[in-house]
Amino acid sequence: MSALPPDQPLRLLSVHAHPDDESSKGAASCARYVADGVEVMVVTCTGGEAGSILNPAMDTPEVRADMVGTRRAEMDKAAAILGVQHRWLGFVDSGLPEGDPKPPLPPGCFALEPLEVPTEALVRLVREFRPHVVVTYDENGGYPHPDHIRTHEVSMAAFDAAGDPDRFPLAGEPWQPLKLYYSHGFSKARIQAFHEALLEAGMESPWAEWLEKWDDSRQDPGARITTRITCAEYFPVRDDALRAHATQIDPNGRWFQMPMEMQQRVWPTEDYELARSLVDTEESNEHPGDDLFAGVRERVGA
């Protein structure tokens, strides 16, 4: 990727469900593009109010009394570390229903909003920021959290509506993004590669249980990857952004057990699936591309 002329910035919009998702999915790619002169904006659809406190050191009465404020402060810090712009879409975390039978989702939550409501909100941001490329989750949400699935639905609807002057005419001047990708961070091949590298080094692997429970009847996201962004140099930035979400990320947890040098050597890319494109590009599973803006640069002259 070559540096961009200052008068022709490319723009990337990364759409996520909760604060911390932006730091665990595609963060190093975002940091690389920022360093390359691309304008990057992260949109967080919900406030993450229903998230559990996963770091024991942060489980205090003060934090529990102000989860909204805490998670907003964490998101501000993570965005600053990544160098991205950030916007809240303004919807309420749906939580992850558990039990058998599963309880209903809470009234007024993001996953229960009529699709047109968050779609209009995202269309407004798309028309304001004018991204050339949008990144979001696949139809399974990356994993089947109701907010992740809703994020996929809203992102797809907004991609189609943003350039249509007849849709949401009060939401700004039409703007049509040129490409849309799904972020695929948890392919079996990647987890297997990490697991085997740790065992070969005589270290304990935190991925063994995950691999044992892997559902091979479900399509592996690795079979869908069309684009691999080399960004190992920015893995430390990604990890710093993750640690900024201190209520959600245990610094002694699985995310940080693999030595950085090993991560960078074993799997130096973040991986994506091209889902929509209005420009010519040869990205495919058989011949993965290496730039989310392939075909876009030529179209816009950047």
pLDDT tens track for 24-78: 999 999 999 999 999 999 999 999 998 889 899 999 999 999 999 999 999 999 9
Distance between CA atoms of residues 170 and 62, nearest Å: 41
Sign of the dihedral defined by the CA atoms of residues 60, 64, 66, 72, in that order: positive
Lowest mean pLDDT among 14-18, 58-62, 219-223, 281-285: 219-223
Determine, yes or no, domain membership for 76: yes
- In the Cβ-directed half-sphere of 292, how many Cα atoms lie within 13 Å? 35
| φ/ψ of residue 182, rounded to 5 | -100, 135
Determine, yes or no, domain membership for 1: no
CA proximity to 36, closest of 230, 260, 175: 230
Q: 245 is written with which tokens?
A: 């979400």
Q: Which domain holds residue 163?
A: 11-187+222-258+268-296
Distance between CA atoms of residues 90 and 47, nearest Å: 7
Determine, yes or no, domain membership for 102: yes
**pLDDT band, very low/low/confident/very high, at 302 (cuts 50, 70, 90):** low
Read off the pLDDT of residues 247-268 as tens digits, 9 standing for 90 and up: 999 888 877 889 999 999 999 9
Determine, yes or no, domain membership for 194: no
Determine, yes or no, domain membership for 198: no
Give the chain's domain count: 1
Determine, yes or no, domain membership for 202: no
Residues belonging to the binding site for Zn(2+) are 18, 21, 148
Read off the pLDDT of residues 270-288 as tens digits, 9 standing for 90 and up: 999 999 999 999 999 999 9
Residues belonging to the binding site are 18, 21, 148
Determine, yes or no, domain membership for 210: no
Distance between CA atoms of residues 41 and 235, nearest Å: 19
CA proximity to 181, closest of 45, 114, 275, 92: 275
Determine, yes or no, domain membership for 150: yes
List the CATH number of the domain containing 72.
3.40.50.10320
